[in-house]
Amino acid sequence: MTKRWQRLGNAIWQARFLYLLLIPGIVYYAVFYYVPMSGLALAFKKYNARLGIWGSPSVGWANFQRIFTTPAAVSAIRNTLEINFSRLLFQFPVPILLALLINEMRGTKWKRVYQTVYTFPHFLSWVVMSAIISNFFANGGMINTIIANMGGERINFLSNSALFRPLLYFTHNLKEMGWSSIIYIAAISAIDPTLYEAATMDGASRLQQAWHVTLPCIRGTIITLFILQVGRIMNSGFEQIFYMQNASVKGVSEILDTYIYNITFKAVPSYGFSTAVGMFKSVINLVMLVGANVVVRRMGGSGLMG
């Protein structure tokens, strides 16, 4: 027994320098992630600022029951899911297509210029991006002026419930597709060139090569990114929606994140209830992530982390 302890002590002493390096990080994660995680206890309490998180009276599952009896919360859940499944459909494949196209492009120099254009919006904040977009799509903006000059009717893009969500997907693609495509381009550049040579010998056209060689070869990358995206199914991109949202599209745009923000910082706050909504969101995310990972493994893929 003492020998084992000695060996453990020895191993720890050997790695003392590495522990030293870990300390700031451990403190950071403890203070900003794990203490707040214990604060999730709030979800089961009626918060009283005077008594603090731990002194506040417990209410059991009442806050969670309230989620499903509050129409606004239920509608926020529905909007979140609808928007995010649509994002998987309308946003997830776009960077893959872009990567395939860039890969097919002739001319190294032009490729670089184009990629610069596609990528730069990623580094701008949504504050900047939404201002640019609102300016562009406003009633007096460029798009509508062009429409009007061509004799068409001005379209109120920004406050039209039917157009709000497509505008979300479209503008998100404008901002992020270039950045997201880099990882696919990197994966494509790692493909063995002899595969293409063989395909060319067999008389495969470029489209056939993209379909039968390139896509299967980057399947692993696609699956990994897909799982990660599914694990964020309850996060709909708070900032984008928060900035682009306005009163006339609230019915289709209020998601869980904006809902939590509004009930906590605008109305009379009920911290217990807000925390419960947030926790509900996090748990669903985690379940979806693990679920997607299991499904992929069952289907013979390698899933996350090996």
Partner 1 sequence: MKSVAEHPGKTARSGLNRWTRGDTAVFVILTVVALLILLPFYNAVVISLETNRAYALHPVSLYPAEFSLKNYTYLIEKGQIWTGFQNTVLITAIGTVLSMSVSVMMAYAFSRRKYPGKRLFFLLMMFTMFFSGGMIPTYLQMKSLGLIDSRWGIILFVGVSSYNIVVLKSGFEQTPPDLEEAAKIDGANDLVIFFSVMLPLQGPLLATFTLFTAVAYWNEWFWSMLLINSSGKMTLQTVLRSIVAEAAAAADVSTGEADLDVFSQGVKMAAVMMAMVPIMCFYPFLQKYFVKGVMVGSIKM
Per CB under 8 A, which of residues 64..103 are in contact with partner 1? 98, 101-103
Q: Is 274 in the site for partner 1 (CB under 8 A)?
A: yes
Does 147 contact partner 1 by CB under 8 A? no
CA distances from 186 to 97, 181, 183, 257 (A): 14, 9, 5, 33
CB 275 within 8 A of CB 89: no
Distance in Å, CB of 139 to partner 1, minimum: 5
Q: What is the dihedral of CA 113, 118, 124, 125, to 10 degrees?
A: 180
d(CA 306, CA 298): 14
List the structure tokens of 29: 């994660």
Q: How far is the CB of 165 from partner 1 (least distance, A)?
A: 19
Q: Does 230 bind partner 1 (CB under 8 A)?
A: no
Q: How far is the CB of 58 from partner 1 (least distance, A)?
A: 16
- Rounded Cα gap, residues 273 and 174, in angstroms: 36
- Kindly state whether residue 167 participates in binding partner 1, applying the rule CB under 8 A: no
CA-closest candidate to residue 246, choices 122, 177, 174, 160: 160
The letter for the amino acid at 104 is E
Among 127, 152, 161, 208, binds partner 1 (CB under 8 A): 127
Name the segment binding partner 1 (CB under 8 A); options: 55-63, 67-75, 82-90, 142-150: 142-150
7 residue type, one letter: R
179 phi/psi in degrees, rounded to 5: -65, -50
Nearer to partner 1, 81 or 154 (CB): 154
Q: Contacts with partner 1 in 16-75 (CB under 8 A)? A: 17-19, 21-22, 24-26, 28-29, 31-40, 42, 53
CB of 24 to partner 1, least distance (A): 5
Which residue in the set 6, 12, 68, 93 belongs to the binding site for partner 1 (CB under 8 A)? 12
Pick 17 or 153: Cβ nearer partner 1:
17
Minimum distance, C-beta of residue 269 to partner 1, in the bound complex (Å): 8
Stretch that binds partner 1, among 63-71, 74-82, 84-92, 285-293 (CB under 8 A): 285-293
Smaller CB distance to partner 1: residue 74 or 142? 142
Helix %, strand %, coil % of the chain (to 5)? 80, 0, 20
Site for partner 1 contains 121 (CB under 8 A): yes
Binding residue count for partner 1, defined by CB under 8 A: 111
- Tell me the helices (H) and strands (E) count for the chain, helix number first: 19, 0
Phi-psi sector, 303: left (phi>0), alpha (psi -120 to 50), beta? left
- Which two tokens mark 287? 């379940």
| 294 belongs to the binding site for partner 1 (CB under 8 A) | no
